[in-house]
A and B are shown apart, each in its own frame.
Chain A
Amino acid sequence: GAVVSQHPSWVICKSGTSVKIECRSLDFQATTMFWYRQFPKQSLMLMATSNEGSKATYEQGVEKDKFLINHASLTLSTLTVTSAHPEDSSFYICSAPPGTAYEQYFGPGTRLTVT
């Protein structure tokens, strides 16, 4: 079945530094990918829609200059958390629909801890 991978699976960084998270669709092409954030004991919150070859679409309240999204190919989207702060510590998850509209495949998530 369709597989979505994320790298790294976990990362610890110091406050003020930037962190890049990769999301790859391994056996299908995805013109659209989605990025979510999940805090402990909370549900997933959609951050943005990543569009191959064009600008990402951000949900209301998400700072586009802080969470940079690049979808440079049909199998790769990256999320860069710039100038990370402890409040950015969270579980970041990406997803992609494999061509059919009715289901999505999710990556395993990336746990970011900012110290």
Chain B
Amino acid sequence: DAKTTQPTSMDCAEGRAANLPCNHSTISGNEYVYWYRQIHSQGPQYIIHGLKNNETNEMASLIITEDRKSSTLILPHATLRDTAVYYCIVRVSSNTGKLIFGQGTTLQVKP
């Protein structure tokens, strides 16, 4: 599975959009981009995933560049409860299902 690079930490003001970048320059054509987050001392939570088109659900939007070498997770109106570590993971959807976590981005939403 392709390796990802994320900033170590980011701050965001409550109510504003949080834009979390992820670089995956070695991504293969059949690899998806997944986002999970982990609130302190809890198990990770699935957020969203995509292949090449932009995706949106009730939690967030995922913007993937045309060359698929990077993506951005957007939380449109961040709240204090969105403070967490956000993990960008790239993997083939049809594989065994195991997830390899990188270091992620610690997002701190401030009032």
Say yes or no: B97 contacts A101, CB within 8 Å.
Answer: yes
How many A-B residue pairs have C-beta atoms within 8 angstroms? Tell me.
56
How many angstroms between the C-alpha atoms of A109 and B96 in the bound complex? 22
Q: B41: which A residues are within 8 A, CB to CB?
A: 91, 109, 111
Q: A91: which B residues are within 8 A, CB to CB?
A: 41
Q: B96: which A residues are within 8 A, CB to CB?
A: 32, 49
Q: Name B's interface SS.
A: loop
Q: Name A's interface SS.
A: strand
How many angstroms between the C-alpha atoms of A34 and B38 in the bound complex? 16
Known contacts A44-B44, A93-B43, A95-B43; A104 and B102 CB within 8 A of each other: no
Q: A104: which B residues are within 8 A, CB to CB?
A: 46, 97, 99
- Residue from B42, B45, B98 with most neighbouring chain A CB atoms (10 Å): B98
Known contacts A32-B96, A49-B96, A91-B41; A105 and B46 CB within 8 A of each other: yes
Say yes or no: B104 contacts A102, CB within 8 Å.
Answer: no
Known contacts A102-B32, A102-B49; A46 and B43 CB within 8 A of each other: no
B100 CB-CB contact with A under 8 Å: yes
Q: A54: which B residues are within 8 A, CB to CB?
A: none
Number of chain A interface residues as a range: 20 to 34
CB proximity of B21 to chain A, nearest CB, Å: 18
CB proximity of A89 to chain B, nearest CB, Å: 14
CB proximity of B1 to chain A, nearest CB, Å: 11
How many angstroms between the C-alpha atoms of A109 and B45 in the bound complex? 12
Interface of B with A (CB < 8 Å)? Answer: 32, 34, 38, 41-46, 49, 85, 87, 93-94, 96-104
